[in-house]
Chains A and B, each alone.
Chain A
Amino acid sequence: DTEVTQTPKHLVMGMTNKKSLKCEQHMGHRAMYWYKQKAKKPPELMFVYSYEKLSINESVPSRFSPECPNSSLLNLHLHALQPEDSALYLCASSKAGQGSNEQFFGPGTRLTVL
């Protein structure tokens, strides 16, 4: 299984809502990532988890809260978002450890904040 799955595919939420994005992989990868991608722009890294521990936070606002409950799952909890947070949220995974490795991306969750 070489697939990264993400749910939901689309999400519309109000600024006072709390929602969560979910990501799952069964490739045995121990590094997982969240990216944000605005229209016609490249993906921008938000968080990196390595061996289920947060290793990189790219100064992301606290209204985005990542969680890695086990080596296969990655969540992104959303609370009190702003309309400018509307974007495609991509999850990726890769082998962890020394050296750089190919990151496998999921299809993304298209988020709209009203």
Chain B
Amino acid sequence: GESVGLHLPTLSVQEGDNSIINCAYSNSASDYFIWYKQESGKGPQFIIDIRSNMDKRQGQRVTVLLNKTVKHLSLQIAATQPGDSAVYFCAENSGGTSYGKLTFGQGTILTVHP
């Protein structure tokens, strides 16, 4: 079956650094991608999303880049803060008959040291 995966399971950075979390996907029909942040004991929290007709989207301190040629997605967090420490999941949806079905990657643990 199709899958979404992450290259690095853990990322440790210093406060103020920029962080980059990567994600590979294999379903070429995927048309919607989303990044979630999950803190311990909480549900996933939306960070940013991007549709397949775009290659970059920016939010507050976050940027998502989509490279459809190599099926790669990344999340960039600027000036990382201790409050950014969490597990980050990418997820994809291929629409069509899979409408509503988000497939999550394995997650990356981000640890920000003060």
Residues of A within 8 A of B (CB): 4, 31, 33, 40-45, 48, 50, 55-56, 90, 92, 94, 96, 99-100, 102-108
Contacts and interface: CB of A to CB of B under 8 A. Distances in A.
Interface string B78-112: 00000000000101010100011111111100000
A92 B107 CA distance: 18
B100 A50 contact: yes
26 contacts: A4-B43, A41-B107, A42-B89, A42-B107, A44-B104, A48-B101, A50-B99, A50-B100, A55-B99, A56-B100, A90-B44, A96-B100, A99-B32, A99-B95, A100-B99, A100-B100, A102-B34, A102-B46, A102-B49, A103-B102, A104-B46, A105-B36, A105-B43, A105-B45, A107-B43, A108-B43
Contact of A56 (B91, B101, B103): B101
Contacts of A90: 43-44
A35 to B, nearest CB: 9
Given A99-B95, A107-B42, A43 B100 contact: no
Contact of A31 (B89, B100, B105): B100
A90 B34 CA distance: 17
Contacts of A106: 43
Interface centre among A33, A43, A107 (most CB of B within 10 A): A43
Given A42-B104, A42-B107, A55-B100, A100 B43 contact: no
A4 to B, nearest CB: 8
B104 A100 contact: no
Contacts of B104: 42-44
A7 to B, nearest CB: 13
B101 A45 contact: yes
B15 interface: no
A45 B102 contact: yes
A96 B99 CA distance: 9
Contacts of B95: 99-100
Contacts of B51: 100
A56 B102 CA distance: 12
B31 A100 contact: yes
